[in-house]
Chain A
């Protein structure tokens, strides 16, 4: 008996879908084993995640609240990954975007929302893009490893942020006539800078609109513009791209401007739409989870929507199980990692055909 492994030429759509779903199911089973060993009933945990994320009205709207920043981040990441550049620092670009929004809101607290809100998004995009450009230039000019540089710049801005909220940006508390610096958080920004929400929910609709536009936009950009086409060529075959006169520097920098900028928008949304002030716990890992959803969804609006909706739900459900089953916050990371492993393994079946011959 021999096992023959051959490259697939075409992958049937239904087969691809079945493999993806099968991979996620196997990942959930693997994590179930860990939960069982930990001493909680995995089926209860999964029921709790699913019900709290998708089974109630509040759950569904909260899932959408988390889907929005994920969608923005992953749309940009899916695009930049097409060029073969690994942007692992979207979390930092998101943070810079949020910090820029804070500066705008603090500088013009009395500006009307109609001017203030678009300015925050614009400046946030620019700031996120600016934080994303150096790794692209360093890679193009000096071949500095992109994974390391993007991630290190996340840590750099994270500590700058901590410095600011513990010092220069710290809110002054008023007690009678006295003011003093109290806890490590900034002041709440002026109401004019708060993003409008839908009804009683926390869905800040300008971000929702932007996120859906981003998911569709990167698809159109990649498939229907010259610059997008060049990104695909650079990613698929850098040698051919160079031979054809496509500038690696320009292509990758543009991709990072879009990716960093979209992450910046996610930061603006999270800050001006939800939190309205900075605390040390401002970040919640959208920049990292977005790497997974970008890779799963690809540059495809439907794929991105599905992947981010599901992972948004996982984040919401994860919060409930943390409280109900006394699990640490890292439990969501464990899910993410396990799902990625199984999807990677399942990909083998999509790329290769396994035949067994006697």
Chain B
């Protein structure tokens, strides 16, 4: 293996990391506010199909991203109403959201199966600066990417800043840790939870848009292929911290990309396909010891509906 192979693995890996990063950033906020949304896969695939159809009909990929974001929010609000106002079981509701999204997207996208986006309507990798791309090994991976790649990193940094360095962040975190205390301080628990759930939906939708207008610009049923679930695992791996999510997403992306490369050396493509999922379990297991050592668990009220005056 020479250097150009490594360079290519990193480039492909950072690309496949982008949807994982976006979706897990959204889930980090939802979970920080106390809402467990297992419907990431469903929101992501709805984002993918709506972005694809929009980009195909209008020729504008950014419009596709906008529509996907809106669709993601709408999807997440179903989960929001059931979890927040109706105090339903969040695990079941999230699973329902995933099933519903996978099913509805296949119905909506039925007429578009096999279509490819024209080049104009896609996001294409564009060198940020010629000099930087020529940097050895990491130049291409970091500086020859689509706009959403850069946007995802900006979003991650902003979300980290808001969560840890602003009052809004304190409000969100206290809502997830102790909603009763937050309520007593005059925080509108329901509003915070709806807002964070909606942000989760928006970013999952955007992640889906990345898949269908940049990563593989076509509509394929179930094209999310479990990425929503990996994003959920990343949320735990990142210890609900947006900056750690960047690291986690790129680790996963690079492993996945490394798998593609190994296919060329005669390893079974089927077994290699399974590696990211096995890695998820291994990483969570390895991360669990650290979580326990540092006593950094999930937000205390994660998945627990809040009712004023009720225990």
- List A residues at the B interface (Cβ < 8 Å): 7, 34, 38, 86, 88, 138, 142-145, 147-149, 151-153, 155-156, 158-160, 162-163, 166-167, 288, 291, 295, 326-338, 340-341, 344-345, 347-348, 351-352
0/1 interface trace, chain B 97-131, chain A, CB 8 Å (1 if under): 11111111111101000000000000000000000
Known: A145-B233, A148-B229, A148-B232. A330 touches B105 (CB 8 A): yes
- A334 engages B103 (CB within 8 Å): yes
Q: Which residue of B lies closest to A345 (CB)?
A: B86
Q: Which residues of A contact B144 (CB under 8 A)?
A: none
Distance to closest chain B CB from A291 (angstroms)? 6
15 extra A-B contacts, CB within 8 A, seeds A142-B289, A334-B103: A7-B310, A86-B91, A143-B297, A145-B284, A147-B91, A148-B233, A151-B229, A152-B278, A160-B270, A160-B274, A327-B110, A331-B106, A335-B103, A336-B99, A345-B82
Query: How long is the Cα–Cα vector from A340 to B101 in the complex, in angstroms?
Result: 13
- B88 engages A162 (CB within 8 Å): no
- A143 engages B88 (CB within 8 Å): no
- List B residues at the A interface (Cβ < 8 Å): 38, 42, 78, 81-82, 86-89, 91-93, 95-108, 110, 221-222, 226, 229, 232-233, 236, 268, 270-271, 273-274, 277-278, 280-281, 284-285, 288-289, 291-292, 297, 310
Residue of A86, A143, A159, A344 near B273 (CB, 8 A) is A159
- A156 engages B278 (CB within 8 Å): yes
Query: How long is the Cα–Cα vector from A145 to B232 in the complex, in angstroms?
Result: 10
Q: Which residues of A contact B288 (CB under 8 A)?
A: 138, 142-144
Residue of B78, B99, B273, B284 near A148 (CB, 8 A) is B284
Q: Which residues of B contact A295 (CB under 8 A)?
A: 89, 92
Q: Which residues of A contact B93 (CB under 8 A)?
A: 340-341, 344
- B273 engages A162 (CB within 8 Å): yes
- A156 engages B78 (CB within 8 Å): no
- A330 engages B107 (CB within 8 Å): yes
Query: How long is the Cα–Cα vector from A351 to B82 in the complex, in angstroms?
Result: 13
Q: Which residues of B contact A291 (CB under 8 A)?
A: 95
Q: Which residue of B lies closest to A329 (CB)?
A: B106
Query: How long is the Cα–Cα vector from A333 to B101 in the complex, in angstroms?
Result: 8
Known: A148-B229, A159-B273. A328 touches B221 (CB 8 A): yes
Report which residue of B89, B273, B281 has the largest number of chain A beta carbons within 10 angstroms of its beta carbon. Answer: B281
Q: Which residues of B contact A351 (CB under 8 A)?
A: 87
Query: How long is the Cα–Cα vector from A329 to B106 in the complex, in angstroms?
Result: 8
Distance to closest chain A CB from B297 (angstroms)? 7
Instruction: List 11 A-B pairs, Cβ < 8 Å.
Output: A86-B91, A145-B284, A148-B232, A149-B281, A151-B229, A166-B270, A330-B106, A333-B102, A334-B100, A345-B88, A348-B87
- B292 engages A143 (CB within 8 Å): yes
5 closest Cβ contacts across the A-B interface? A337-B100, A334-B103, A159-B274, A330-B106, A333-B103
Distance to closest chain B CB from A340 (angstroms)? 3
Q: Which residues of B contact A149 (CB under 8 A)?
A: 281, 284
Residue of A151, A167, A328 near B110 (CB, 8 A) is A328
Q: Which residues of A contact B98 (CB under 8 A)?
A: 337
Residue of B92, B221, B236 near A344 (CB, 8 A) is B92
Known: A163-B268, A328-B106. A142 touches B100 (CB 8 A): no
Q: Which residues of A contact B278 (CB under 8 A)?
A: 152, 156
- A344 engages B107 (CB within 8 Å): no
- A341 engages B91 (CB within 8 Å): no
- A158 engages B88 (CB within 8 Å): no
Q: Which residues of B contact A138 (CB under 8 A)?
A: 281, 284-285, 288
Q: Which residues of A contact B273 (CB under 8 A)?
A: 159, 162
Query: How long is the Cα–Cα vector from A143 to B288 in the complex, in angstroms?
Result: 7
- B86 engages A344 (CB within 8 Å): yes
Query: How long is the Cα–Cα vector from A345 to B229 in the complex, in angstroms?
Result: 24
Distance to closest chain B CB from A353 (angstroms)? 13
Q: Which residues of B contact A7 (CB under 8 A)?
A: 310
Known: A152-B278, A159-B270. A336 touches B103 (CB 8 A): yes
